[in-house]
Amino acid sequence: MNNYQAWEVDDSKFPTHGSVESRYAALLEYGILAPSTHNTQPWRFESDEKSLFLYPDRNYELSYGDSENRGLFISLGCCLINIMVAAEHFGMPLQATIRGSGNNIFLQLVQSKTKSENSSLRSLFPGIKSRTSNKLPYSPKVVAPNILKKLTLIPSIHLEINKRKIEEIANLHSQTAAEYAMNKAFARELSNWLRYNKTEQGDGMPGFVSGIKTGPSLVGRYVIRFVPKVLKVLAKKDKGLIMSSATVGIITSAKNNAEAWIDVGKKYQQFALQATLLGLSSTPLAAMIEKELAATRLARLFEVSADERPQMFFRLGYPTVDTKHTPRREIKIGKYNANTASSSKIT
């Protein structure tokens, strides 16, 4: 299997009449197309004849880029939504329950016995295979108010279209991202996830996603690893990218824990799929979220209430160029071990 094959998933091959486990396996083909921090794909799967289990995969923690594991759990929430959307599409609605506690939570999915409460997700299905995190400049075309309204139906999403405000936010991002240039460990970690454009690896970020040509993409990771100061240049470039966006947004939550982060991931992925279907592009930028002071300033700029913390920042706009997909690893599904489960609550 080549490392982009995952995007070619054939909807007509869904095993509608197959075993539950074969259907869970088929749903995961959509799950793994979700976005994730540095394209680490920090998820792990198990199943049995009743349930599908989604775990955060601790092998993919990012100690310096995602020190609290916020991005890891957000990515898991994004993956969950893709699975739920596909399940609705193929007529086997699922109910997700959070198991475990604290940072050791995971998700158990079972088939819904009652009428699905998530049927509205079905319409998002065509977005799964066409969504990308578009990291290139966006067109200056404004996003019409009726479209913005549609996108803010998802609770806790706050959008900003005021050019002056967007510039202030772009400055805050640029200053915060530039601080990472002092952090050699962060640069080393990031460089581990940067890939040559012709990579055959199933994860990480090929240079083309940021508009880097094949030749320079061969050395990009070494430049960042050995000259972390270039992150300052990239921070400046980000400022321009944010300012090219007609809209920027945040997703907030009152709680700041793993469960809240999964919920934020669910919201972002619904937003990103909906935006894709509306012909829009979006991409997250995590720097301001990671730093407490910047996150507080960001909340103030968005004028959200003091008990809400921004958990994700993203830009939104019409694309100027179509972007290519990032690679995916092959799916591995383990056999569930019943001794590990303990119930908490339904999401």
Ligand X SMILES: Cc1cc2nc3c(=O)[nH]c(=O)nc-3n(C[C@H](O)[C@H](O)[C@H](O)COP(=O)(O)O)c2cc1C
The footprint of ligand X (CB under 6 A) covers 35-39, 71, 74-75, 78, 132-133, 135, 205, 283-286, 326
Shortest distance in whole angstroms from residue 285 CB to ligand X: 4
| DSSP structure class, residue 319 | B
Shortest distance in whole angstroms from residue 88 CB to ligand X: 21
Indicate the residue among 95 and 133 with the shorter CB distance to ligand X: 133
Q: Which residue has the tokens 């321009």?
A: 240
Shortest distance in whole angstroms from residue 18 CB to ligand X: 27
Indicate the residue among 95 and 311 with the shorter CB distance to ligand X: 311
Indicate the residue among 119 and 256 with the shorter CB distance to ligand X: 256
Shortest distance in whole angstroms from residue 291 CB to ligand X: 12
* Nearest-CB residue for ligand X: 35
> How many Cβ atoms from other residues are within 10 Å of residue 306's Cβ?
8
Measure the CA angle with vertex 68, ends 67 and 72; round to 5°.
Answer: 95
Torsion-angle region of 107 (φ positive above 0: left; ψ -120 to 50: alpha; else: beta) = beta
Shortest distance in whole angstroms from residue 75 CB to ligand X: 5
Which helix or strand (DSSP H or E) is residue 220 part of?
Answer: helix 214-226
Bridge partners of 95, per DSSP, are 110
Alpha carbon distance 35, 271 (integer Å): 12
Cβ(265)–Cβ(66) below 8 Å: no
Strands 51-56 and 333-335, bridge-based pairing: unpaired
344 Cβ neighbours under 8 A, 6+ residues apart: 97, 98, 99, 100, 101, 105
Indicate the residue among 307 and 322 with the shorter CB distance to ligand X: 322
Indicate the residue among 20 and 188 with the shorter CB distance to ligand X: 188
Cβ(83)–Cβ(52) below 8 Å: yes
Indicate the residue among 89 and 135 with the shorter CB distance to ligand X: 135
Shortest distance in whole angstroms from residue 298 CB to ligand X: 13
